[in-house]
Amino acid sequence: MIMDYKQVKTDVLKQYDTFLSLVQEIKGHSATTFDTPLEQLQKDVESVRNDIFRLMIVGEAKSGKSTFINAYLGKHILPMDVKQCTSAIVEIRYGAKYTLKATYADDRVKVFDKEGDIEKFLKENAALDDEYREIPVGTINLQLIIPNKGKRILESEIRELLRMIADDNLYKLSPAVYEQKVREYIAKKNPHWNDLVKKIEIEYPFEDEDLIGVQIVDSPGVNAEGRVGAITNDYIVNAHAVMFLKPLVGATLETNSFKKFLKSVSADRNPDAMFLVLTRAANETPNNVARIHEEAYKQFPGINKKQIIHLDSKVELFRNKVKAMTEEELQVFMDKKIEEAEWYNEQLKGKSDKEISVFMNEHKDMDILDSFLETPWYRSRCNREVYLQKLSELSNFKEIDVALNLFARKAQYMLLSEVLKRMLFVLDKITAELSENIRHYQDKAQNPAELACKLLNAEESLKDLQNKINVTVKRIASKYKDTDGIIETRAAKIMEAYQKEIGEIDPKMSSSVDELEKITFRKISSFKQFEGEITKKIVAECDEALIAFSKKGDLNYTALKPDITPEFLEKMKSERKRQAENTYTTGICFKETHTRLDQSKYFSLVNNDIQKRLDKIKEDVVLALQDYVTEVTSAYRTELTRNAKVQEENYRQIREDKANAEEMQKKIEVMEGKLSRVRPMVSNISALKGGIDKNV
């Protein structure tokens, strides 16, 4: 997938191998202050070696996710359905053999390795029964059935779910029928909750080398309010790119769900990794496609223009199917398909709507050629090469490859830069420790008694530093966490500002509810910005305290500094936020049609509902951030204590070393030799990192 990246990757891995050899020689079997960053570095290098690119596919029901994935992979792996799939996450990646592993809601695992068994399982578990196609079973499973694990579900919980999924009635059933189907589904599935599949992992021996490093994740559908479940959210956090599929149908671009998805907390973690994919483009005129593209560019200025793409998965699937045919085989095949299509359309003539429905159901297994596949055949004058080229242009899948190549290259370069940055972090620690040890041995060679005293004082200073840091970090945590602390105070100010803005809305205006919605989303964004500020400040303040104390005691800050990695912080933040998942929604009550609408009363009802939800959001944010502060400060103290103990042990060994002057000089020369090898390595890595960062 990333051809231009391979040489740079080779250079980085070669540099890492040289780095690792030197580090292991310096480290030996002893515990060091750079053990933690070294462990994380090894994980990052493994990701680089494997070249894994995680692509997350999300979208509403009926958006054609399965069709798109099959077309992209060039293999008919997932069952394609024009309606919707289950709540299971589906992972597809390269493997030496075609296998499927299914994980059920109760964590049972089943493995299938025969193609027939895999196809049967997918048909039974990756697509819905006809009986429940019209209701959002993915949301029902994830929000209600799986969490309750067969326990009696309260009426209040069902009513809350019905309110939540009111806008997900995509097939326009009457409210009564919609509710009845939802209740029937809950009653039928709840006792057998453990038979619901929550995760499907597929490995396939793709022949296309570009797919070997790609991991596709197919998610349960996004609902009308742009929400995704906690499981999907976890995957989005770790995805390199997220593709939101939206059918391009008719003259307008309905984008509310995508707008709300972009505003959601989970999607905001990947602002530069979002792609809007407009599917089913073959049915639209070129002028209409171009106009809708422009409309999309205006609506989503935060997304790169090259990452809003129109395509047609069905055309690409068909092209994949016929591209291996010879000229003669394709001619025979197309003649047959056109004849079938003509017969099929002839049978529909003169039939009533009911008769048409019955006929289509009886012949649903027929693969009828669409007109947008037939027309290019005649326009190409039945020429194989010209026809395949026209299909390629019509599917527009080449744009996906171009966009992903550009983005993947950037993402992979960023990972290489992070690997080099961590290598420099380790080398800085090594340089600091070697320089300090050389100085100590030089002092010992001149005046062993004075050095012993100095090292004892250094050990005491370390212990004193640890005590001071513990007190200071605890004070920092209290400043953020306590009642009337920074977290609660800032959250309260956001709510006060919200109340003030709401108070300025005239409830009698017809646009009052729309204005209320805009202000609400702005305040949710304020909470997200607030969370980001706190998570950065807490570590920065801890680091500042360590620097200040280290300088006072003439201790080595670089060697002592804990490695609180961005990955560690992101994971912790994700865990804290997950505590609040599914306890609130950010959408607004759906509008009901009234003969006479009391606008003020309507505004008041909606406002009260939003106030409750926003209050809940505020509470969740405050609690999650307070827990986050506790865990970060605890992790900081733990890692600092470990580093300090390593330094104390180092001082003890130097103090107790009985070597004579000649032996000490040899030790100094060995350390200086290591240091002389570290310095040019730092220079080489810095130059390589600078070149990568400049290109990115």
The torsion region of residue 508 among left (phi > 0), alpha (psi -120 to 50) and beta comes to: alpha
- Mean pLDDT (whole number) for 187-192: 89
- CA neighbor of 146 nearest in space, from 101, 185, 192: 192
- For residue 427, what are its two tokens? 């080398």
Mean pLDDT lowest for which of 185-189, 361-365, 444-448, 554-558? 554-558
Mean pLDDT lowest for which of 44-48, 340-344, 464-468, 483-487? 464-468
65-73 vs 313-322: helix axis angle to the nearest 10?
A: 30
For position 685, what pLDDT does the model report?
Answer: 92
In angstroms, the first-to-last Cα distance of the chain is: 17
For position 468, what pLDDT does the model report?
Answer: 74
Residue 591 has pLDDT above 50, yes or no: no
pTM of the model: 0.60
Evaluated on CA atoms 671, 672, 673, 676, the torsion sign reads positive
- Mean pLDDT (whole number) for 265-285: 71
- For residue 271, what are its two tokens? 């602002």
For position 100, what pLDDT does the model report?
Answer: 94
- CA neighbor of 334 nearest in space, from 382, 394, 393, 395: 382
Residue 150 has pLDDT above 60, yes or no: yes
Per the listing, tokens 């602002």 go with 271
Q: Which residues contact 413 (CB under 8 A, 6 or more apart)?
A: 5, 8, 692, 695, 696
pLDDT bin (cut points 50, 70, 90) of residue 266 is very low
- Mean pLDDT (whole number) for 140-165: 85
Per the listing, tokens 């201790």 go with 555
Q: Pick the more confident residue, 638 or 550.
A: 638
* Spatial separation of the C-alpha atoms in residues 665 and 333, rounded to whole Å: 85
* Spatial separation of the C-alpha atoms in residues 23 and 269, rounded to whole Å: 34
Q: Pick the more confident residue, 561 or 428.
A: 428
Above pLDDT 70, what percent of the chain? 81
Residue 610 has pLDDT above 50, yes or no: yes
Reported as a single tens digit per residue, the pLDDT across 443-489 is 776 677 777 777 777 777 777 777 777 788 888 888 888 878 888 88
Strand partners, 111: 101
415, amino acid identity = L
- CA neighbor of 573 nearest in space, from 522, 520, 526, 530: 530
Q: Where are the domains of the chain?
A: 3-48+418-695
For position 271, what pLDDT does the model report?
Answer: 54
Residue 421 has pLDDT above 70, yes or no: yes
Which CA distances in Å does 556 have to 429, 528, 559, 682?
Answer: 9, 36, 6, 19
Please tell me whether residue 55 adopts helix, strand or coil conformation.
Answer: strand
76, amino acid identity = H
Reported as a single tens digit per residue, the pLDDT across 196-208 is 888 899 999 988 7
Dihedral pair phi/psi, residue 674, rounded to 5°: -65, -40
For position 263, what pLDDT does the model report?
Answer: 55
Which CA distances in Å does 6 have to 32, 160, 212, 394, 685?
Answer: 33, 52, 15, 32, 17
For position 83, what pLDDT does the model report?
Answer: 43
For position 108, what pLDDT does the model report?
Answer: 92
Residue 178 has pLDDT above 80, yes or no: yes
Strand partners, 33: none
pLDDT bin (cut points 50, 70, 90) of residue 620 is confident
For the chain, the farthest-separated pair of C-alpha atoms sits apart, in whole angstroms, at: 109
Reported as a single tens digit per residue, the pLDDT across 52-102 is 788 888 876 667 888 888 888 888 888 775 444 556 788 998 898 999 999
Per the listing, tokens 């992101």 go with 570
pLDDT bin (cut points 50, 70, 90) of residue 267 is very low
pLDDT bin (cut points 50, 70, 90) of residue 250 is low
For position 682, what pLDDT does the model report?
Answer: 92
Strand partners, 199: 89, 103
* Spatial separation of the C-alpha atoms in residues 536 and 490, rounded to whole Å: 15
How many Cβ atoms from other residues are within 10 Å of residue 338's Cβ? 15
Residue 4 burial class via C-beta count within 10 angstroms: exposed 0-12, middle 13-18, buried 19 and up: exposed
333, amino acid identity = F
CA angle 260, 289, 409 (to 5 degrees): 65
Q: Pick the more confident residue, 35 or 589.
A: 35
- Percent of residues in the chain assigned helix, strand, coil, to nearest 5: 70, 5, 25
Residue 634 has pLDDT above 90, yes or no: no
Evaluated on CA atoms 267, 269, 271, 275, the torsion sign reads negative
- CA neighbor of 420 nearest in space, from 19, 2, 694: 19
Residue 264 has pLDDT above 60, yes or no: no
For position 656, what pLDDT does the model report?
Answer: 73
* Spatial separation of the C-alpha atoms in residues 32 and 600, rounded to whole Å: 67
Q: Pick the more confident residue, 462 or 525.
A: 462
For position 472, what pLDDT does the model report?
Answer: 81
Q: Are 80 and 90 in contact (CB under 8 A)?
A: no
- For residue 265, what are its two tokens? 């907390």
DSSP sequence for 315-347: HHHHHHHHTTS-HHHHHHHHHHHHHHHHHHHHH
Residue 306 has pLDDT above 90, yes or no: no
For position 231, what pLDDT does the model report?
Answer: 52
Dihedral pair phi/psi, residue 110, rounded to 5°: -125, 140
Reported as a single tens digit per residue, the pLDDT across 5-42 is 778 888 999 999 999 998 888 888 877 878 888 888 88
Q: Pick the more confident residue, 438 or 624.
A: 438
Top-ranked range on mean pLDDT: pick from 222-226, 503-507, 651-655: 503-507
Per DSSP, helices labelled H in 482-553 are 486-503, 512-552
Per the listing, tokens 């944010």 go with 621
pLDDT bin (cut points 50, 70, 90) of residue 329 is very high
Per DSSP, helices labelled H in 447-504 are 448-481, 486-503
- CA neighbor of 222 nearest in space, from 190, 253, 191, 259: 259
Please tell me whether residue 593 adopts helix, strand or coil conformation.
Answer: coil
For position 76, what pLDDT does the model report?
Answer: 84
Reported as a single tens digit per residue, the pLDDT across 348-404 is 888 888 888 888 888 877 888 888 888 889 899 889 999 999 999 999 998 887 887
Q: Where are the beta strands (DSSP E) in 145-256?
A: 197-204, 214-218, 241-247
Q: What's the gap between Cα 450 and its chain centre?
A: 57
Instruction: Name the average pLDDT for the chain.
Output: 79
Q: Pick the more confident residue, 336 or 82.
A: 336
Top-ranked range on mean pLDDT: pick from 35-49, 317-331, 352-366, 567-581: 317-331
